[in-house]
Structure 1
């Protein structure tokens, strides 16, 4: 396993998901990456003064996912720390249907870009993550806890496996650390060329 995404504790399944694509493992090994570029904010359209202004609604364009309170709540940066090492696994859900998994290696900050889609109707809710160029998906479940954490089932979510029906006792809890969907400056992104 490349040292860019070290496997530790309960994050071993996440590492397995990350390296399930030969392309990802190869990219990490040969250290090919692209620097992230800042995204431009849309210019708001002026509204007549006699009508109330409404915030723009962003829709994930690559997944044609409708905007919902659940998808809005998911947007941002979520983090889970391994209590034995203080290393953190960070997920960034963006409004354009992209999921970034940031390397816990602070000496060489990088992220792997995936596509994702959700279905908030079933309980627990469904999260599909495209993990390879040939559109293989890791099917999993998620929910928001009463205290606002994101519970995500990482165990037994390899591509080709059926979606888990319930959370295992080892399901990972993530805490929202930011509503910001932009990646940190100068982070290297590994693309799947999806």
Structure 2
């Protein structure tokens, strides 16, 4: 595959370093509901899933969660994200390269549009994705279902799209959509993602070459 016709970004953990914040809030919240987890445990159990599904996973693991838990945890996470969510190093420069190469891009997330407005808005990225934001909350279909990515692609053939992901859920959705998937694993823990069919990279500075943006 040469230069893509469309690049589809996941949001949390790819464009912004928000997952660390969300996991920390989740661990503290679940501890109050009778489920003690390390941040590593919570990351493995919950990252990439929808919050409704996370609630079921937590209940199955022993958490005593009420019917309003999802709304409550969202409020806690959003408040923490508003306090400061850093952009992933190298992302603004990568978007500049895509703009120069005239390669369109969008964001497709299992998170809500409100959450993306919070995280991308404070990092200066929100305006760069205007008209190109796809949320599972809005569309009613979430990863690993490939329809989120297929909807984001629109009329662009799937085989000409590249998805940038960081979770098994997202990788599965990209592969099911027949899209090339590049998996961001900055801590060097991408073996599982590679096993699902993704090409692993560890720095956003790796992407211009992988996306063939270095060619004239």
TM-score range, shorter-chain basis? under 0.3
| TM-score (structure 2 length as normaliser) | 0.24
The structure where strand makes up a greater share of residues is 1
| TM-score (structure 1 length as normaliser) | 0.26
The structure where helix makes up a greater share of residues is 2
